[in-house]
Structure 1
Amino acid sequence: MHKERVAVLALDGVYPFELGMPARILGGSGRYEVQTCTVDGRPVRTNADFTVGVEHGAELLATADTVVIAAIDPLRITRQLPDEVTAALALIRPDARIVSICTGAFVLAAAGLLDGHKATTHWQLAEYFRHAYPHIDLDPDVLFVEDGRILTSAGAASGIDVCLHLVRKDHGSELANFVARSCVVPPFREGGQAQYIQQPVPQPGATSTAATRAWALERLGEPLTLGDLATHARMSLRTFARRFNDEVGLSPGRWLIQQRVDRARHLLEASDLSVDHIAGEVGFATGASLRQHLHAAIGVSPQAYRRTFQEARRA
């Protein structure tokens, strides 16, 4: 079985947690060969109290199908990259996929690799990023962004999200779910970064919307309304919408669409049901509606999406 080659670049000040994610998630799937490098093959200091040693220098980047830039300490962020880092990034093949975790987006931006692309990074650094790179379309509300061959992820654990996304995209949801279960993490996290931004502590006795979200997930095929959700949660429409957004980072309507699209993607990957049948199963009125929402979410038609996963299963 051919394994895609993944090179993880560790720069000075790297976060150990994020540095290990590609090996744990991608390597743990058995479908990728994950290797780590530094710009010169020498150990680098982490942002913790230890250094990490590697067996490869920047030459590894020239052979990789996917390059991952691990997060670095914000104090190491500079608009002008050291010459050796610039030279290392120049070795990346033009057709290689490039992924950044958290502050790794600043490295890509400084190298000009995000010019003309949408991107994200940690929400706490969003304003600094916008000030430094006003020409880059930054979305600080999402967990990760995929724009062509460039993927950028938000803070810390979002690196897990984007790595699972790669497994799911390359090899299907069954393998991604298996890897997620092995790591005891959710295969897909709902919502965006907004749910992790510091919020006022809810008043004692405040009711969560979690039970209503679970109830809705069992009824995605039904024509659920905001009123239905608020009634189940025993809240007014306004209170429910506000609390839902605080907890999830999305409006109830956007969340429902996201869940329906995700369920449709799973059915497209794992079944031979028609597009119209799948639309009905997940709560979209017509196949045309499913096509519209799927294209808005990931930029492809149901047929193209299904064909991609059928090819991945045959590989």
Structure 2
Amino acid sequence: MSHRVAVLALPGLVTADLGCALQVFGPGALPGVPDAGDEIVVCGAGGAAVPTGDGFDLVVRHGPGALAGADTVVVPGYVPGWDAAPPADVLDALRRAGARGACLVAISVGTFALGHAGLLRGHRATTHPAAARRLAERFPGTTVPAGVPCVVDGNLLSCAGPAHADELARLLGRGEEPGAHHPVPVAALRSALSDTCWWALQHLDRPLGLADLAGHANLSERSLLRHFHDEVGTSPKQWLLGARLDRARRLLETTTLPVDAIARLSGFPSSDALRARFTASFGVPPTTHRRAAH
């Protein structure tokens, strides 16, 4: 069965955000990723012409009723009216989609539409950095973590904007080729450890250990181990190793840096340590993987 995706274009639509949704869900839009077979429809509040925030109207054939049969609902950003509630029929359609368990994806200030529908209460969410404080103020039951570009909480997924399309695609299972080694950032974002995991990903070149993660999370090492096991599904040590291997793989595929430099940037103590771990995980040494990728 195909996966049905409804993209809700609200008045003032940010067309770059719409492009992000089409990049993630459109047929063959992501290089190297097979067509997922998504059935995608763009709908508007009135099912007619939608004024965009970029100076032209977008003609759509469907109204908010298209959300009724969607497995995933995407809400791109819309300006300047994001701080005011969308029409009642739009809010009702969003609430019904959330109630039946559809995946709700908000891009940039599109997160506000979910807030107006009452869907963010008691959840974590993010939005465009310039609007993050307002999101927290406007919907006080929502946790808005600082500096986190993408957040998954239950069936709610929000990202700060189109710049994070690749991360959004990975979170939705569409951003990696089959068999790719992508160990944990996705799982980490689903937990209360999200801030610490994102901090660690930004400092992988450092010799991070259990004590560093526990200190950042303001937990004892024993509590951190328990939370990782319960919420991330692995140990902090294995999480860090997976993240380092993922960093090394990406650098091999996208740069011409020598292996010893990649080892340092990925937090391995030496190029030999990287080679041993990489070969054990991927079945080939780093240089062979690089040749195959190019």
Tell me the TM-score range normalised by the shorter chain: 0.5 to 0.7
Equivalent position amino acid for 1:17 in 2:
A
Note if 1:107 corresponds to 2:121.
no
Identify if the C-alpha distance between structure 1 residues 79 and 262 changes in structure 2 by more than 3 Å, giving closer, same or farther: same
Q: Is the 8 A contact 1:105 1:120 kept in 2?
A: yes
The more displaced of 125-134 and 4-13 is 125-134
**Residues 20 and 225 from structure 1, CA distance in 2 versus in 1: closer, same or farther, beyond 3 angstroms?**
closer
Query: TM-score, with normalisation over the residues of structure 1?
Result: 0.54
Q: Which residue of 2 aligns with 1:295?
A: none
Indicate conservation of the 8 Å contact 1:103/1:121, yes or no. Answer: yes
* Structure 1 residue 57 displacement after superposition: 1.7
Question: Would the alpha carbon gap of residues 7 and 80 (structure 1) be closer, same or farther in structure 2, given more than 3 Å must change?
Answer: closer
Hey, what does 1:80 align to over in structure 2?
A: 85
After superposition, the Cα gap between the structure-2 partners of 1:123 and 1:257, relative to the gap in structure 1 and judged at 3 Å, is farther
How is 1:52-201 mapped onto 2 (pairs within 5 angstroms)? Answer: 52-73=58-79, 75-92=80-97, 94-168=100-174, 173-175=176-178
Q: CA RMSD in A?
A: 3.7
Residue 262 of structure 1 aligns with an amino acid whose one-letter code is A
Q: In structure 1, the residue corresponding to 2:73 is in which secondary structure?
A: strand
Q: Which runs of 5+ in 2 are unaligned?
A: 29-33, 181-185, 187-193, 196-201, 209-236, 248-265, 269-294
Q: TM-score, normalised by structure 2?
A: 0.58
Residue 67 of structure 1 aligns to a residue whose secondary structure is strand
Q: CA deviation at 1:125?
A: 1.1
Could you tell me which amino acid in structure 2 is paired with residue 106 of structure 1? F
- Encode CA deviations 1:49-93: one digit per residue, 9 max, x unaligned: 1111112221210111110011111x2123433223223324425
1:33 is aligned to 39
Q: 2:244, 2:267 within 8 Å by CA — same for their partners in 1? A: no
CA distance in 1, matches of 2:42, 2:169: 15
Unaligned runs of 5+ in 1: 178-187, 194-209, 217-223, 227-255, 267-281, 285-315
What is the total number of aligned residue pairs between the two structures? Answer: 199
